[in-house]
Structure 1
Amino acid sequence: GNHGGRPPVITDDMLHTVLHRRANGESLEDIRLDLIIPTGKRKGRNPSLASIYRALTEHEKRQAHPEAVERAHADFATLQPSD
């Protein structure tokens, strides 16, 4: 499964901003300069273009295959110990 690793630099709010501004015709280079990483080692800095493209790719995958994402979430939920 997908465990551990680094947390994503692009938050859902940042992704929403990127999608909205990109729909208005802005370039990723311009949008990137207004994005600020909220946590972690690079807190307060701009994310890389690669991070933005990675987040957009993940978003596209979720849009294209929502049933797979739902199934993965359901499988994960069943694996969690209930208190």
Structure 2
Amino acid sequence: MLHTVLRRRAGGESAGQIRPALISPTGKHKGRNPSVANVYRALAEHAKREAYPQAVERAHADFAALQTGGVPGPRLTPPDRASL
């Protein structure tokens, strides 16, 4: 669904024009068109993943650790060379 939205947005269509062509594959509204707000949420989520890929990877790793009973460790940031 996101691929369709991104492709059609690149073609200049608005979220309102794209929405009727989409079908929600899962969830409470499965088989129906998503709302325009959901289209914008998907676009915002995609933009966030593109801007901060390391944060997304860390969040997935932390979630996996929690699912297996582990506890994610602290995220220590190494000092930058300018401050040394």
Q: Name the TM-score class by shorter chain.
A: 0.7 to 0.9
Q: 1:37 to 1:71 in 2, by over 3 A?
A: same
Cα RMSD of the aligned pairs, angstroms, is 1.5
TM-score with structure 2 setting the length: 0.72
Report the counterpart of residue 74 of structure 2 in structure 1: none
The count of residues paired between Structure 1 and Structure 2 equals 69
TM-superposed CA distance for 1:80, in Å, is 2.3
The letter of the residue matching 2:16 is E
Report the counterpart of residue 10 of structure 1 in structure 2: none
Bigger radius of gyration? 2
Q: For the residues of structure 2 that align with 1:61 and 1:37, how far apart are their CA atoms?
A: 21
Report the counterpart of residue 79 of structure 2 in structure 1: none
> Which consecutive aligned stretches of 4+ in structure 1 deviate over 4 angstroms post-superposition?
none
SS of alignment partner, residue 27 of structure 2: coil
Higher normalized contact order (CA 8 Å, seq sep 6+, divided by chain length):
1
Report the counterpart of residue 68 of structure 2 in structure 1: 81
| Unpaired stretches in structure 2, ≥5 consecutive residues | 70-84
Aligned with residue 42 of structure 1, among 14, 20, 29: 29
Q: For the residues of structure 2 that align with 1:39 and 1:72, how far apart are their CA atoms?
A: 23
| Unpaired stretches in structure 1, ≥5 consecutive residues | 1-13
